[in-house]
Amino acid sequence: MKRSIERLVAQMTLEEKAGMCSGGDFWHLKGVERLGIPAVMVSDGPHGLRKQEQEGDHLGVNDSIRAVCFPTACATAASFDTGLLETLGRVLGAECRAQGVGVLLGPALNIKRSPLCGRNFEYFSEDPYLAGQLAAAQIKGIQSQGVGASPKHFAANNQEYHRLTCSAQIDPRTLREIYLAPFEAAVKAARPWTVMCSYNKINGEQVSESKALLTDILRGEWGFDGYVMSDWGAVNDRVKGLCAGLDLEMPASGGSTDRQIAAAVREGRLPEAVLDRAVGRILDVIFRYADGQGAAEFDLQAHHELAVRMARECAVLLKNEGGVLPLGQRTRVAFVGEFAQKPRFQGGGSSHINAFRAESAWEAARGRYEVQYARGFSAGGDEADEALMREAVELAAGCGAAVVFAGLPDSFECEGYDRSHMRLPGCQNELIRRVAAVQPNTVVVLHNGSPVELPWADEVPAILELYLAGQGAGRAAVELLFGEANPCGKLAETFPLRVQDNPSYLNFPGNGDTVEYREGVFVGYRYYDKKEAPVRFAFGHGLSYTSFAYSGLRADKTAVRDDEPVTVRLEVTNTGARAGKEIVQLYVADCTGAEVRPEKELKGFVKLELEPGETKTAEFVLDRRSFAWYDPQRGSWTCASGRYGLLAGASSRDIRQRVEIELTCTDPKPYVVDANSRYDDLLAQPALREFMLRLLEKEYPPAPPAESGAARAAITPEMQQRMDREAPLRSLRSFKGYTQEQLDGLIARLNAMLR
Ligand code: BGC
């Protein structure tokens, strides 16, 4: 195949080659008829197929074909289920094949830095490990159908405010550990055919022109071998972008940037080989699709059933006191809130699917359970309607239980702009409070793409988080509420008490031109845990109608080298009365103190399905990367020798078991002594310890007890010693009469002892 692509490129004119590097229209690449190159179509993504047949636009303004809207990424992430994501990918791939779409534009795996990002509903998590694993699974599924995926938006597109021009100012360690890591995992594990670069700048450089990102890291380090396409309109300087590794510009540029490329080649500013390479990559992917096989049709109705099942697997039971849920066959249940009839199940913008149907909770429950409905508020707005509210409260008071279907109106979260606050509409908060005041069995069901403040959380016994759960949201909610299904999702993000508690709060969304990522690696639970700060609901939290016990956590070795894997196992037992699924999380805690690090980080998860009384073993395999941090000075991932905690949890704040292992780093950072090496650090080097103790004894002998009481109180010998050991070697010159030559000699001797 490689050879024939090369031959094809060689047959193309300069203009044809330059033309291949931008779209033919809004959704198609260009074809070259005389050479048999088809004009392949790409479409959004990521949780359904948004294929526009008429006039194209990227913000969902014009209609697309009727398709299935699956749960959005904020929901699928809560499933912690890679199998489910792979299935989602597979069915989306099949829909693409059947509709003649060669690349699906997704998944979107940017990190949720702030709950306010308008597009969080399309993203998976605040945790890079989780986001990377889930994205990889979805990509594998899509590509199993002979259709390309396009993980996006690479990288650090964590807000909508000024998304085309703003520069994310990120230190190199944070960039690698938090913002690039999900892409790294997805690229390495799933080998996507394409990657979509983001709109924004990073540290002042337009991502679409960043050779470091698009070539050195993406291809050089991670082995990406497809083509990089721009987000729609992300191209600033086309020739610069091409040199940096941006192969395809989308959408069409009206020919103007094609002409710029051709002129640059002719004028010797752009080596033709660079253009040939980009064209070769694009053609290679075109033919992966064109020569591939896959489903020719799909069954909308069957995919709808799958959408329902997925929504069920993603919902998170946040609270359930006094066994309010499941409702069972309780006499009469009030369904309150317009979302019961019109569920909000997706967000606005380029991912908006023309769903061929949507099942509401009201539709799913009516006739099967004794339910009554009161609108309570309008789903689209903020304004309270006293009459609607009174009617709903009255209905709730007269029933055996009330379910308030609450959520964010469409206009509150959407691609293209961020939220200005984290609240639900005031009318909904008030209605929930008033219903809870008259009805002790009040359940709140939430439809939102990102955390909301829950000021009434202590006043209601149960909360079910549906997220934006796709077109099956309503039926899934009913099945979960009435106990036909058992909730099994867990939060892929922290619910802070208030937006002000979020670590990015002081620096989100920045000053317009730049946004400083000053919280560094302390994003989400990495921050809240370090600060031991209270949160509303912790990362990884989610309840079930049954209960699980954890036991027997162990590693296959207690002392391990960092170049060998460690297998960690524990038993999980369903101790309740009904079948259920438990998401078991494995966190690693670095106890070496070698670097400033989070208290713990997620490094593994499994979802186990257990019958009542059944026990299964959860197994995780950790490798060097599970313990490592990114060291910008070395330009590589590194870990320290010492103790690490392995924590098995039902959530980040519900750690059930803990063991420790001793890790030996096989590639320690070489320690080099210089005039600024501190005594404390020198003493910590085993090869120097004896020598240093003798030196300190000689140069800093214990001071004789001070004569006056006041002097004794000012500094004790112990205080003096601690102060001395903070000092660097050069203090021998300042305070102990060493000459420069003597100091240099000592440093040389110490370095020799280390070798
Ligand atoms: C979005 C992408 C999307 C593209 C095409 C852009 O505005 O950022 O996620 O794939 O449009 O619709």
List the beta strands (DSSP E) in 231-337.
Answer: 316-320, 333-336
**Banded model confidence at residue 1, pLDDT cuts 50, 70, 90:** very low
**Is the C-beta atom of 119 inside 6 A of ligand 1?**
no
pLDDT digits (tens, 9 = 90+) for 156-209: 999 999 999 999 999 999 999 999 999 999 999 999 999 999 999 999 999 999
Q: Which of 233-237, 423-427, 705-709, 721-725 has the lowest mean pLDDT?
A: 705-709
**Is the C-beta atom of 45 inside 6 A of ligand 1?**
yes
Distance 349 CA to ligand 1 centre (A): 8
pLDDT for residue 2 is more than 70 = no
Whether residue 424 is found in the same domain as residue 478: yes
pLDDT at 68: 95
- Report yes or no on 741 lying in a domain: yes
Whether residue 58 is found in the same domain as residue 128: yes
Which residue has a Cα nearest atom 12 of ligand 1? 58
- Report yes or no on 693 lying in a domain: yes
- Report yes or no on 593 lying in a domain: yes
The residue-averaged pLDDT of 258-275 equals 98
Of 266, 290, 314, which one is at a domain's C-terminal end?
290
Distance 58 CA to ligand 1 centre (A): 6
Whether residue 343 is found in the same domain as residue 372: yes
pLDDT digits (tens, 9 = 90+) for 512-527: 999 999 999 999 999 9
d(CA 416, CA 233): 13
d(CA 403, CA 420): 28
Q: Which residues are catalytic?
A: 231
Say if strands 514-516 and 559-561 run parallel, antiparallel, or are unpaired. unpaired
Q: Which atom of ligand 1 has the smallest separation from the CA of 350?
A: 12
- Report yes or no on 478 lying in a domain: yes
Residues 6 or more apart whose Cβ sits within 8 Å of residue 468: 71, 72, 74, 75, 121, 344, 345, 346, 347, 447, 448, 449
User: Where in the sequence is the domain holding 660, given as residue range(s)?
Assistant: 548-664
The residue-averaged pLDDT of 730-746 equals 96
Q: Which atom of ligand 1 has the smallest separation from the CA of 349?
A: 7
Whether residue 462 is found in the same domain as residue 483: yes
**Is the C-beta atom of 231 inside 6 A of ligand 1?**
yes
Of 244, 262, 290, which one is at a domain's C-terminal end?
290
pLDDT at 709: 78
Q: Is 530 helix (H, G, I), strand (E, B) or coil?
A: helix
pLDDT digits (tens, 9 = 90+) for 298-330: 899 999 999 999 999 999 999 999 999 999 876
Q: Environment class of residue 438 by beta-carbon count within 10 Å: exposed (0-12), middle (13-18) or buried (19+)?
A: middle
pLDDT for residue 740 is more than 50 = yes
- Other beta carbons within 10 Å of 310: 25
Establish whether the linkage from the previous residue to 322 is cis, with ω within 30° of 0.
Answer: no
pLDDT digits (tens, 9 = 90+) for 70-129: 999 999 999 999 999 999 999 999 999 999 999 999 999 999 999 999 999 999 999 999
Q: Identify which of 29, 43, 44 to mutate to test ligand 1's pocket (most ligand atoms within 8 A of the CB).
A: 44
CA-CA-CA-CA torsion sign (273, 277, 282, 283): positive
CA 478 to chain CA mean position, Å:
29
Whether residue 203 is found in the same domain as residue 103: yes
**Is the C-beta atom of 350 inside 6 A of ligand 1?**
yes
pLDDT at 707: 74
Whether residue 699 is found in the same domain as residue 626: no
Percent of the chain surpassing pLDDT 90: 92
Which residue has a Cα nearest atom 6 of ligand 1? 232
CATH number, position 567: 2.60.40.10
Q: Identify which of 58, 161, 249 to mutate to test ligand 1's pocket (most ligand atoms within 8 A of the CB).
A: 58
- Report yes or no on 454 lying in a domain: yes
**Is the C-beta atom of 95 inside 6 A of ligand 1?**
no
Q: Identify which of 59, 199, 231, 351 to mutate to test ligand 1's pocket (most ligand atoms within 8 A of the CB).
A: 231
CATH number, position 147: 3.20.20.300
Q: What is the DSSP letter of 110?
A: -
| Domain count for the chain | 4
**Is the C-beta atom of 122 inside 6 A of ligand 1?**
no
- The residue behind tokens 């047959």 is 11
Which residue has a Cα nearest atom 3 of ligand 1? 350
